[in-house]
Structure 1
Amino acid sequence: MSDGVEVRVDCHVKVLNDAVVERAKRVGLDAIVYAPHFTRLPEIRERAAAYSSDELLIIPAREVFTGSWRDRKHVLAIGLEDPVPDFIPIEVAMAEFDRQGAAVLAPHPEFATVSLTESDLRTYAKTIDAVEIFNPKHFPSHNQRARELAEMLSYPPFTSSYAHLPSSVGVAYTAFETPIESEDDLVDAFEERVARRVVHNNGARRLRTSAGELAHLCYENTWKKADRLFLSGIEPTHPSHIAYNGRFDDVAVY
């Protein structure tokens, strides 16, 4: 781990295996936030603990898909104690995050049709702790708009690799000026608006990363999405799943 002067955190990674850990260490990361799609919190926590070490802290998190498939908005929550499902109204998800005292982040704002809008960022200003101002999947105009939103609405920034591929890990990270040795430390860093800098690569490697990640995004939103919708049955993070004990049955959007 870092000596506390600067701690490098890739704040949003979708994949976790030996290759991810090896790459994270090689590029000098101190921690990564692991938040895979459609995976329940206990499973995320178990996998994060299995790969975490003194050299690399793995922090479990959930990117919750609020709303329906046609109007879903992604929100990243760190520090949850109780599981929160996907496919619930955004106001219900935000209330749950508040209740649990989680750090709430806005990944890839206004990107495609899966992100928080300017109106959402204004509405939930008391809940959201940071806005992502650089994402490798973005085109330059998207990153510029994200920076404008963060500055206009006085949100602290963050960035991440948003890695769905091991080779993308660390292409962008947030460097915090405080020790981060646990999940709670990162939650505190976001909620207390600790000083930080956003670091990313804009060269040829970044372009290769963007191309690879965008190709993966196309796959996720075509064949893989069709499989989830029509072939695989109920998602583990669907609000009516038995794991949620009926708590969210009345607010499920489908």
Structure 2
Amino acid sequence: MDGESFRADLHVKVLDESVVARAKARGLDALVYAPHFTRLPEIRERAARFSDDDLLVVPGREVFTGTWRNRKHVLAVGLDDPVPDFVSLDDALAEFARQDAAVLVPHPEFLNVGLGGEDLRRYRDEIDAVETYNPKHWPHHDRRARELASDLDLPAFTSSYAHLRGTVGEAWTEFEGSFDSAADLAAALRSGVERRVVRRSGWSHRLRCGAEFAHLGWENSYEKVDRILLSGTEPTHPDHVAYDGRFECVY
């Protein structure tokens, strides 16, 4: 791309001083911070705390739609109001549309947590971009993601999907132009601004990718399922008092 560019790691789960330092050392302009099972006001507050003139930290929500055993992740950037996990995909997308948020599909067709090709075709007009490289993917996952994005003529994006601090900045999306706010970045994603998918390479990158994949064992442990999903009082459960009964849980 010619002219000014903007480098964004569009999906990280961790955020602290070391993450910010690493992002800046990698030359990033922005991070999208979207931790699991954390309500939007808390995400927004923490993002603002770590944003400065050199790094924009954008609040995001990776919403788990469907049931735990058949969950489909959708990443929203630019939300004004909280959206819980474990609502139907239809309900989540309708709420994202109501708020005019950018809708991104992370890790398509990955294990049991990504939207499949059939989902992408059905909701193609409601999706703003598809992730075509993810450090947790195996090569065939990335190939399939690229094929889906190309076949459906949907813009691509990438992220480090960092659950571990050392993975931040291993992959990023480089946009044409420059953005000063979270709203600017969300608008660019919605409008399909020209961008390119970039990732690091070499043994260090492969080792970090392997560590992220190994992290999935803990991420999907039954202990975490029991702790988070069954009480109905967790922060992003649809039955939580914060949502005032506006959303119907799929359980």
CA separation in 1, counterparts of 2:149 and 2:229? 38
Retained in 1: the 8 A contact 2:10–2:158? yes
Map 1:87-106 → 2, pairs under 5 A: 87-106=86-105
Deviation at 1:8, TM superposition (A): 0.3
Deviation at 1:225, TM superposition (A): 2.0
Q: 1:177 matched to which residue of 2? A: 176
Match status 1:124 vs 2:114 = no
Retained in 2: the 8 A contact 1:11–1:159? yes
CA separation in 1, counterparts of 2:58 and 2:186? 10
- Which amino acid is 1:166 matched to? R
Q: 1:186 matched to which residue of 2? A: 185
State the SS of the aligned residue for 2:212.
helix
Retained in 2: the 8 A contact 1:178–1:189? no
Deviation at 1:179, TM superposition (A): 1.1
State the SS of the aligned residue for 1:197.
strand
- Which amino acid is 1:99 matched to? R
State the SS of the aligned residue for 1:77.
strand
- TM-score normalised by length of structure 1: 0.95
Counting aligned pairs with the same residue, the percent is: 60
State the SS of the aligned residue for 1:126.
helix
CA separation in 2, counterparts of 1:36 and 1:154? 29
Deviation at 1:20, TM superposition (A): 0.4
The superposition leaves residues 184-211 of structure 1 with CA deviations (integer Å, 9 ceiling, x where unpaired) of 1111111111111110123212211111
CA spacing shift, 1:229–1:182, aligned 2, 3 Å: closer
Q: 2:156 matched to which residue of 1? A: 157
Select between 206-215 and 70-79 the one with higher mean Cα deviation.
Answer: 206-215
Q: 2:250 matched to which residue of 1? A: 253
Deviation at 1:231, TM superposition (A): 8.3
Retained in 1: the 8 A contact 2:84–2:236? yes
Q: 1:205 matched to which residue of 2? A: 204
CA separation in 2, counterparts of 1:216 and 1:6? 32
Retained in 2: the 8 A contact 1:84–1:93? yes
Deviation at 1:229, TM superposition (A): 4.7
State the SS of the aligned residue for 2:11.
strand
Map 1:1-254 → 2, pairs under 5 A: 5-222=4-221, 224-229=223-228, 234-248=233-247, 251-254=248-251
Retained in 2: the 8 A contact 1:7–1:180? yes
- Which amino acid is 1:114 matched to? V
- Which amino acid is 1:195 matched to? E
Select between 26-35 and 119-128 the one with higher mean Cα deviation.
Answer: 119-128
RMSD of aligned Cα (Å): 1.4
Residues paired across the two proteins, number:
249
- Which amino acid is 1:253 matched to? V
The superposition leaves residues 38-92 of structure 1 with CA deviations (integer Å, 9 ceiling, x where unpaired) of 0000000000000000010000000000001011000000001111000000000
Deviation at 1:32, TM superposition (A): 0.3
Deviation at 1:235, TM superposition (A): 1.9
In structure 2, the gaps of 5 or more residues are: none
CA separation in 2, counterparts of 1:129 and 1:230? 29
CA separation in 2, counterparts of 1:151 and 1:87? 29
In structure 1, the gaps of 5 or more residues are: none
CA separation in 1, counterparts of 2:233 and 2:210? 31
CA spacing shift, 1:237–1:148, aligned 2, 3 Å: same
- TM-score normalised by length of structure 2: 0.96
Deviation at 1:224, TM superposition (A): 4.6
CA separation in 1, counterparts of 2:88 and 2:231? 23
